[in-house]
Amino acid sequence: MRITAAVVESKGAPFALQELELGELRDDEVLVEVAASGICHTDLICRDQWYPVPLPAVLGHEGAGVVRAVGAAVAAVAPGDRVAMSYDSCGACPTCARGLGAYCHSFFEHNFGASRPADGSSAYSRDGDPVHAHFFGQSSFATHSVARERNVVKLDDAIPLEVAAPFGCGIQTGAGSILNVLRPEPGATVAVFGAGAVGLAAMLAARIAGCARVVAVDVRPSRLELARELGATHAVDASREDPVEAIRTLGGADASLEATGSPAALRAAVDCLVPTGVCGVVGAPAFGVEVSLDVNTILTGGRVVRGIVEGESVPQEFLPRLVELWRRGEFPVERFMASYDFDEIDRAAHDAESGAVVKPVLRMV
């Protein structure tokens, strides 16, 4: 079949809507007619080659839509089902066997290889020549995606697909980092560095977890104001004051989350911790970026710094949990989403980079 997809031809190039051909499904694959797709920071850094995804490619990894066809071995979903798409994993390595697909031994091949990991092929082509796709097992910047049974999550009718789409990466990353990994005790203090989509989802989750203090740290006053509206108890403008001193004044943070990719922010997120506190790292800089930490800050306080991928989520279990929290009004993530038509994808990407919007969501239909 013929589809429309946004293709990135070369490093830093614009997203160009083009007509592509889509081949037949394999046994474990699912054809999804995409209704909406969030734009994530990861899409933009892959476009710009901070992460070396092969180009030309169809990016996008926060898709939601309706199943139109399934491969012969697919049993979890059927044509007509509403689904969200999340990250992909092999399902066979030691970490996948432990239910930790976010740390799959082949995570980069399945999510950043932009091809089928088994043989390097692509279901997408242009004038007979293959186009790199299968990004995060979906390449959702398209009217149709070829996903896998492992990375689709069936949705009920309670949530609009336009709201559900970003749950597959940014929303579950922020919320999962708090609820699945850091797991702060009721009454704890959590500091979140970066009030973007991931950070705001984390702040909402911290309030759900019963944290007494949720500290938002950013350099944009508008983001800090939004964070307060969504439940942050304190806001620190890091362009005007030292966030470490500001958080220490509150008694320090039991847990912190670094969601900017800035080495300076990561240093501050570690230094603001109380003894035995844990800093989760989700912000993604370019490969090769290093951070300087005081060894004795970590050693003598028993502090922990640990990476977190996709909120350590098992999407088929965690996304329905988040949808239920949204349905009950406890997780109003739509407050920081903004809608764009598919042909406005470059404007949406620019607005995300400039900070004009927090989470752009493309509408394909």
pLDDT above 90 (res 67):
yes
The model carries a pTM of 0.96
The answer to whether residues 164 and 186 belong to one domain is no
Judge whether 217 lies within some domain: yes
86-102 residue pLDDT tens: 999 999 999 999 999 99
214 forms beta bridges with 190
Structural domain range at position 272? 173-309
The answer to whether residues 262 and 241 belong to one domain is yes
Judge whether 324 lies within some domain: no
> Under DSSP, is residue 47 helix (H, G, I), strand (E, B) or coil?
helix
Query: Would you tell me how many other CB atoms lie within 10 Å of the CB of residue 235?
Result: 19
The answer to whether residues 136 and 211 belong to one domain is no
The answer to whether residues 208 and 117 belong to one domain is no
Res 365: pLDDT: 81
Q: Kindly give the interhelix angle for 197-208 and 221-229, rounded to the nearest 10 degrees.
A: 30
304-360 residue pLDDT tens: 999 999 999 999 999 999 999 999 999 999 999 999 999 999 999 999 999 999 999
Judge whether 93 lies within some domain: yes
The answer to whether residues 120 and 137 belong to one domain is yes
User: How many distinct structural domains can be found in the chain?
Assistant: 2
The answer to whether residues 57 and 76 belong to one domain is yes
CB–CB of 66/164 below 8 Å?
Answer: no
The answer to whether residues 148 and 272 belong to one domain is no
201-256 residue pLDDT tens: 999 999 999 999 999 999 999 999 999 999 999 999 999 999 999 999 999 999 99
The answer to whether residues 184 and 274 belong to one domain is yes
The answer to whether residues 33 and 153 belong to one domain is yes
Beta strand 253-258 pairing with 273-281 = parallel
CA Rg value for the chain: 20
The answer to whether residues 195 and 283 belong to one domain is yes
Q: How far apart are CA 320 and CA 326, in angstroms?
A: 10
